[in-house]
Amino acid sequence: MEITCYRDDAFASEWRTLPAEIYNLATTLLARAPDGQLFVPIRTMQMLTIIDHEEFVFIDGERKCWIDIAWRNFKPQERESLTAPVSYEAVYYRPESANYMNQLHSEFPSALQQLAAKEKPDVSAKVLKFPTQKNPAC
């Protein structure tokens, strides 16, 4: 799928943190995406999220190809464990865009989980049987 997106000049920006579970799931799904982009519909908000290796952009269904919010400049290297939150810059392209952030932080994870549940692994699993020893020395 190919979508051309546009953005206005940034209206405002702020540094925030994203819970590790959300960041880790998004990057895992992105790694499996064949074209290097991941499209995540957030049906409850009528928004589309486009994820690539640089940013997550959120497009409102009414404005179709105009970016409303971008999450970028992720800093996963600054965290001390994989379960620590990841800081990022939220960039707003419209005055009302910041109002969506609380809802995005609750609805976006659900949309990611729904997408992950639809994916099927490409490789079948195989159980290997190893001979067992009687009286193993532990």
Q: How far is CA 8 from CA 5, 12, 48, 63, 86, in A?
A: 10, 11, 17, 12, 26
121 pLDDT band, cuts 50/70/90, is: low
Instruction: Say how far apart CA 113 and CA 90 lie, in whole Å.
Output: 22
113 pLDDT band, cuts 50/70/90, is: very high
Mean pLDDT of 54-60: 94
In a domain, 126, yes or no: no
In a domain, 102, yes or no: yes
Which structural domain, as residue segments, surrounds residue 58? 12-118
In a domain, 124, yes or no: no
Number of H helices, E strands in the chain: 2, 6
In a domain, 138, yes or no: no
Q: How many domains does the chain have?
A: 1
Q: Are 20 and 79 in contact (CB under 8 A)?
A: yes
Going by C-beta distance under 8 Å and a sequence separation of 6 or more, which residues neighbour residue 122? none
Instruction: Say how far apart CA 8 and CA 11 lie, in whole Å.
Output: 8
Percent of the chain's residues with pLDDT above 90: 62
Mean pLDDT of 109-127: 78
133 pLDDT higher than 70: no
In a domain, 63, yes or no: yes
In a domain, 110, yes or no: yes
In a domain, 135, yes or no: no
- Encode pLDDT of 83-94 as tens digits: 999 999 999 999
